Structure 1
Amino acid sequence: MTKISQIGGEQALIKRIQKAIKTSKDEVILGIGDDAAIIKPPKNKNKNIAITTDMLVENNHFSLSTHTAEQIGKKSAVANISDMAAIAATPKHMLISLAIPKDTTVEFIDRLYKGITKETGKHNINIIGGDITGSPSGALTINIVILGETSKEIRRSGAKPGDCLMVTGDLGKSAAGLHTLQHNPKTSKKTAEILKKAHLEPSHRLKESQTLKKLNCITSMNDISDGLATETKEICEASKVGAIIYKQKIPTTHATDELLKAIKKDTKETALYGGEDFELLFTAKKQDTKKIIDTLKKHTGTTATIIGKITKEKQIYLIDKTKKTRLKKTGYDHFKENPFDYKK
Structure 2
Amino acid sequence: MGKELTVREAGERRVVAEITGMMAAPSMLVDGLGHDAAFVDLGRGDDELLVLNTDRSGLNAAYGLGLAGPECVGDFGVSHAVSDIVVAGGIPRAVTVALLLPVESTLGFVRGVMQGAADAARRYGAEIVAGDTKQNPKFALIATALGTVSREKRIRRSGARPGDALVVTGFLGSMLLGLIACKRALPLGDRAQRIVKRAIIEQRPPFTLGRAIAEAGIPHAGTDISDGLPGAIHAICDASDCGAVVDERRIPLHPELDELILASGLSSLQLGTAGGDWQFLYAVPPEHLSLLQQLAASQDARITIIGSITEDRQIAIRHLDGAWHRLERIEHDSFADDGNGIGHFSRVETSSSLRGAALERRHFEALWNRIF
Find the counterpart in structure 2 of residue 325 from structure 1. Answer: 325
Find the counterpart in structure 2 of residue 340 from structure 1. Answer: 345
Question: Once the 2 structures are TM-superposed, how far is the Cα of residue 334 of structure 1 from its aligned partner?
Answer: 2.1
Find the counterpart in structure 2 of residue 111 from structure 1. Answer: 112
Find the counterpart in structure 1 of residue 366 from structure 2. Answer: none
Question: Once the 2 structures are TM-superposed, how far is the Cα of residue 196 of structure 1 from its aligned partner?
Answer: 2.2
Question: Once the 2 structures are TM-superposed, how far is the Cα of residue 339 of structure 1 from its aligned partner?
Answer: 5.0
* Identity rate, percent: 26
Please give the TM-score of this superposition, normalised by the length of structure 1. 0.80
C-alpha change, 1:122 and 1:72, in structure 2 (3 Å) is: same
Find the counterpart in structure 1 of residue 218 from structure 2. Answer: 217
Find the counterpart in structure 1 of residue 313 from structure 2. Answer: 314
Q: Which runs of 5+ in 2 are unaligned?
A: 1-41, 338-342, 351-372
* Residues 89 and 215, structure 2, Cα contact 8 Å, conserved in 1: no
* Residues 177 and 264, structure 2, Cα contact 8 Å, conserved in 1: no
1:281 aligns with 2:286: no
Q: Which runs of 5+ in 1 are unaligned?
A: 1-40
Partner Cα separation in structure 1 for residue 198 and residue 46 of structure 2:
41
- Judge which range, 174-183 or 217-226, deviates more: 174-183
Find the counterpart in structure 2 of residue 185 from structure 1. Answer: 186
C-alpha change, 1:103 and 1:314, in structure 2 (3 Å) is: same
Find the counterpart in structure 1 of residue 173 from structure 2. Answer: 172
Q: Which amino acid aligns with 2:210?
A: S
SS at match of 1:158: coil
Q: How does 1:139-154 map to 2 (within 5 A)?
A: 139-151=138-150, 152-154=153-155
Partner Cα separation in structure 2 for residue 124 and residue 265 of structure 1:
38
Partner Cα separation in structure 1 for residue 303 and residue 110 of structure 2:
37
Q: Which amino acid aligns with 2:345?
A: F
C-alpha change, 1:42 and 1:111, in structure 2 (3 Å) is: farther
Q: Deviations over 1:133-170 (max 9, x none)?
A: 1122xx21000001111112110101011111001111
Q: Deviations over 1:35-68 (max 9, x none)?
A: xxxxxx8999321111101101247x66534352
Find the counterpart in structure 2 of residue 78 from structure 1. Answer: 79
Moved over 4 A (4+): 41-44
- Judge which range, 195-204 or 162-171, deviates more: 195-204
Partner Cα separation in structure 2 for residue 188 and residue 219 of structure 1:
40
Q: Deviations over 1:255-300 (max 9, x none)?
A: 443222112222x1233211111111001122221221112221x2
C-alpha change, 1:193 and 1:62, in structure 2 (3 Å) is: closer
Q: Which amino acid aligns with 2:179?
A: L
C-alpha change, 1:303 and 1:83, in structure 2 (3 Å) is: same
* Residues 244 and 314, structure 2, Cα contact 8 Å, conserved in 1: yes
C-alpha change, 1:259 and 1:200, in structure 2 (3 Å) is: same
C-alpha change, 1:333 and 1:256, in structure 2 (3 Å) is: farther
Question: Once the 2 structures are TM-superposed, how far is the Cα of residue 313 of structure 1 from its aligned partner?
Answer: 1.3
* Residues 175 and 270, structure 1, Cα contact 8 Å, conserved in 2: no
C-alpha change, 1:286 and 1:271, in structure 2 (3 Å) is: farther
Partner Cα separation in structure 1 for residue 186 and residue 44 of structure 2:
53
- Judge which range, 200-209 or 63-72, deviates more: 63-72
- Judge which range, 181-190 or 73-82, deviates more: 181-190
- Judge which range, 41-50 or 149-158, deviates more: 41-50
Find the counterpart in structure 1 of residue 354 from structure 2. Answer: none
Partner Cα separation in structure 2 for residue 255 and residue 113 of structure 1:
34
Partner Cα separation in structure 2 for residue 62 and residue 76 of structure 1:
13
SS at match of 1:182: helix
Partner Cα separation in structure 1 for residue 314 and residue 96 of structure 2:
39
- Superposition CA RMSD, Å: 2.4
Please give the TM-score of this superposition, normalised by the length of structure 2. 0.75
- Judge which range, 95-104 or 121-130, deviates more: 121-130
Q: How does 1:233-312 map to 2 (within 5 A)?
A: 233-266=234-267, 268-298=268-298, 300-312=299-311
* Residues 93 and 125, structure 1, Cα contact 8 Å, conserved in 2: yes
Q: Which amino acid aligns with 2:296?
A: L
Q: Which amino acid aligns with 2:327?
A: L
Q: Deviations over 1:215-256 (max 9, x none)?
A: 223100111101111101100000011111111111111344
* Residues 118 and 127, structure 2, Cα contact 8 Å, conserved in 1: no
* Residues 191 and 258, structure 1, Cα contact 8 Å, conserved in 2: no
C-alpha change, 1:123 and 1:339, in structure 2 (3 Å) is: closer
C-alpha change, 1:280 and 1:44, in structure 2 (3 Å) is: farther
Q: Deviations over 1:7-37 (max 9, x none)?
A: xxxxxxxxxxxxxxxxxxxxxxxxxxxxxxx
* Residues 244 and 313, structure 2, Cα contact 8 Å, conserved in 1: yes
Question: Once the 2 structures are TM-superposed, how far is the Cα of residue 189 of structure 1 from its aligned partner?
Answer: 4.0
Question: Once the 2 structures are TM-superposed, how far is the Cα of residue 116 of structure 1 from its aligned partner?
Answer: 1.2
- Judge which range, 182-191 or 200-209, deviates more: 182-191
Find the counterpart in structure 2 of residue 25 from structure 1. Answer: none
Question: Once the 2 structures are TM-superposed, how far is the Cα of residue 184 of structure 1 from its aligned partner?
Answer: 2.2
- Judge which range, 186-195 or 245-254, deviates more: 186-195
Partner Cα separation in structure 1 for residue 254 and residue 247 of structure 2:
17
SS at match of 1:154: coil
SS at match of 1:160: coil
* Residues 241 and 312, structure 1, Cα contact 8 Å, conserved in 2: yes
